[in-house]
Amino acid sequence: MEPVFKDISDHSAYAIWCNDLSLEELEADIHEGIPAELSNYHPHKRAEYLASRVLMNKLCEYMNVEYGGIRKDEYGKPHLLSESGFISISHSYPYIVCMLDKQKHCGIDIELPRPQLLRIKHKFLDGQEQEQVGEDLELLCQYWSAKEALYKIHGRKSLAFSENINVEQNTSNCFTGLIKKNELFETHSLISEKIDDYFLVYNL
Q: Are 179 and 153 in contact (CB under 8 A)?
A: yes
Domain boundary among 82, 106, 130: 106
pTM for this structure? 0.95
**151 and 74 in one domain?**
no
**150 and 79 in one domain?**
no
Angle between helix 137-154 and 116-124 (nearest 10): 50
For 82-125, the pLDDT digits (tens) are: 999 999 999 998 999 999 999 999 999 999 999 999 999 999 99
Q: How many CA atoms lie within 13 A of 133 on its CB side?
A: 26
**15 and 97 in one domain?**
yes
Q: Are 133 and 143 in contact (CB under 8 A)?
A: yes
**161 and 92 in one domain?**
no
**68 and 36 in one domain?**
yes
Average pLDDT over all residues of the chain: 95
**79 and 171 in one domain?**
no
pLDDT of residue 156: 85
**16 and 93 in one domain?**
yes
Domain of residue 59, CATH code: 3.90.470.20
Range of the domain at 72: 4-106
* pLDDT tens, N- to C-terminus, the chain (204 residues): 899 999 999 999 999 999 999 999 999 999 888 888 888 889 889 999 999 999 999 999 999 999 999 999 999 999 999 999 999 999 998 999 999 999 999 999 999 999 999 999 999 999 999 999 999 999 999 999 999 999 999 998 889 999 999 999 999 999 999 999 888 899 999 999 999 999 999 999
DSSP code string of 174-191: EEEEEEEETTEEEEEEEE
* Exposed e or buried b per residue across 100-132, where buried means at least 16 C-beta atoms within 10 angstroms of its C-beta: bbbeebbbbbbbebeeebbeebeebbbeebeeb
**99 and 77 in one domain?**
yes
**96 and 13 in one domain?**
yes
Q: How many domains does the chain have?
A: 2
**65 and 48 in one domain?**
yes
**132 and 66 in one domain?**
no
